[in-house]
Amino acid sequence: MRVATAFAALYVVWGSTYLAIRVMVHDIPPFIAGASRHLAAGAMLYAWARSRGAVRPTLAQWRVAAMVGALLLGVGNGLVNWAEQYVPSGLASLMVSSVTIWMVVADWVRPNGVRPTARTMTGLLLGTIGIIALVLSAGGLGARASSTASMLLGSAALLFASMSWAGGSIYARQRQRHPHGGLATAMEMVAGGVALALASVLTGDAFRLELHAVSTQSWMALAYLVVFGSLVGFSSYTWLLRVSTPAKVVTYAYVNPVVAVALGWAFAGERLSAGILAAAAVLLFAVALITLPPGVAAALRRRLAYRSFGNPAR
């Protein structure tokens, strides 16, 4: 039951965070917004874990948490915040679904890594094609040059964020973290929040924040992300990395976009072109090909082939 609940949180809650991030960064600079979110959530979770008897972390455990937090939240989530100033939330979620592809690559290139199977390599190739097509479609080549440049830059940031998230996830599974899952997650949130606070100073975000100009909607979005995006969603993710298989955990990558696109369409008036939807279909099929068990993947390929070439209703 706990596993099912955690997956539900990962699927639905994380899918909704893309719209919440877009609302939040409308008035709050992206890096200071991320720092506030993760420091607040990390401090609350740390206090809770310690009150439940979690032992004080060692310096070595803090070093691991610092690396995981920097990769997952500092770079990964921080760049998503930044990119959503220019990229619609639904499109951002589709870009981030490429994290599964980068996880396979990260697991391959690490020391004593796992070489992908032929099916996985096919998925990687299709995923690469889908990413390229998605970026080109998202660029809006018929739009104004400034708009195109912003969209392409945002898309590049989202892909780099996905790479960082994948690397951090693989690193987290290979290193000895704090044995208390809640405290380990809290430490990573704090570390990611500190990294984002430093980024906010270096980029000037911290000095651009005007509290009087922040709307109620942006404050509410930040509060939602602290409670549901971090305390519920990120805690569920790190816990599932411990108790489930990576192949099952990363299935969120092709459920989140469905939720995010639907919410962006319903509440933010976002629209996706036919080119973006076609590229997204290729990318999500590649993700499914990589993560689904071989028998299910084969059945999916046969089903798609039948619909495309053998369906008498065509």
pLDDT digits (tens, 9 = 90+) for 142-189: 444 446 788 889 989 999 999 999 999 888 878 878 888 889 999 999
The answer to whether the CB of 135 falls within 8 A of the CB of 155 is yes
List helix spans (H) across the chain.
Answer: 2-8, 14-24, 30-51, 59-69, 78-83, 89-96, 99-109, 118-138, 145-174, 181-203, 205-208, 216-224, 235-243, 246-249, 256-267, 274-291, 294-305
pTM of the model: 0.83
Q: How far apart are CA 246 and CA 66, in angstroms?
A: 22
Residue 218 in this model has a pLDDT that exceeds 70: yes
Residue 297 in this model has a pLDDT that exceeds 70: no
Give the pLDDT of residue 300: 44
pLDDT digits (tens, 9 = 90+) for 83-139: 999 999 988 998 898 888 888 888 888 888 888 888 888 888 888 888 888 877 765
- CA proximity to 123, closest of 238, 253, 245, 12: 253
